[in-house]
Amino acid sequence: WADEFQFDGFRFDGVTAMLYHHHGVHWDFLGGIKEYFSEHVYTDAVVYLMLANTMLREMDVNSITIAEDVSCMAGLCRPVAIGGGGFDYRCGMGPPDMWQRLAEVPDEHWGMESIVSMLAGRREREKTVGYAECHDQALVGGKTLALAMCGPAMYTEMGCQSDSMEVRRGLALHKMIRMITMGLGGEAYLNFMGNEFAHPD
């Protein structure tokens, strides 16, 4: 892809499933160092990812690589030269799940301390791509965040002549969620076009 089509950025999907013998299935990552440096780690996969990042940098020094890793493996986004995985960014996968959970709770009961802790709790010197929701969440039977915020009124009360308080409040929350995620969720922001612009389905 880099050679033939001149791609200069790559998102490596499912990195967690590659990194561990257990593929991250039925495993709660709590952040302990033994989770990342133990017999659970699939060394061949780690070496492959290091080589892939090295090769891409040799082809184009400005190429960008992003790891979709829910485990938050230590060093994955550090340079290969110092023993890291070589990725530029990791996907911040916790915040979208948090927002989906909070969408089921009245917003007056949201705790700002826990929201800020989730958004700002990242590994030092490892850049993160923040995002508020992912299209996968809606595809697997969930709701888009906009629909969760606005409710069914979104289908009937979005016209110029409508003045639905439910929709106005929902869209205000939708905007605030994006603002705080952009501000605290990482060093870059990922926009899923349908979801992020309030498409309901």
**Which residues participate in catalysis according to the annotation?**
13, 68
Closest by CA position to 133, among listed 179, 182, 89, 100: 100
Q: Kindly give the residue spans of alpha helices, DSSP state H, lying in 15-72.
A: 15-19, 33-36, 43-59
* Integer angstrom CA distances of residue 66 from 7, 48, 71, 101, 129: 13, 15, 14, 25, 8
Distance, in Å, from the CA atom of 55 to the CA atom of 3, rounded to the nearest integer, reads: 11
Place of tokens 């290091």: 50
Single-letter amino acid code for the residue at 18: M
SS3 130: strand
The two structure tokens encoding residue 4:
């033939």
Distance, in Å, from the CA atom of 29 to the CA atom of 73, rounded to the nearest integer, reads: 9
